[in-house]
Amino acid sequence: MAIIAMNEKEKEVDENIPLQAPCEELGIPFGCKNGLCRTCEIIVEEGMENLSAVTEQEKVHELPEQNRLACQCSLTSGKIKVKSTWD
């Protein structure tokens, strides 16, 4: 099991699961779901090391070091704590 935490809520997920579905359930907004629009950009407050490698689509955006696109990464194991860049 792995855990995604956001705004005092936690969601248990399987390891190596794409972040998209659980993050949508926690309230992260999504747009293109293809790495283009940055709507799903999250700030990873804890557990960056538990996420899959940065994708080519993410590199194009030159995101701040703490940020990822939730439509592009998976939680490999452990726990992450995130918040939306829209908060």
Binding site for ligand FES (CB under 6 A): 30-33, 35-40, 69, 71
Smallest distance, Å, CB 5 to ligand FES? 20
Taking the complex as a whole, how short is the minimal distance between the CB of residue 11 and ligand FES, in angstroms? 18
**Torsion angles phi and psi, residue 55, rounded to 5:** -90, 165
Strand residue runs (E) in the chain: 2-6, 9-13, 17-18, 41-46, 67-69, 74-75, 78-84
Q: How far is the CB of 87 from ligand FES (least distance, A)?
A: 16
Q: Which residue of this chain has its Cβ atom nearest to ligand FES in the complex?
A: 71
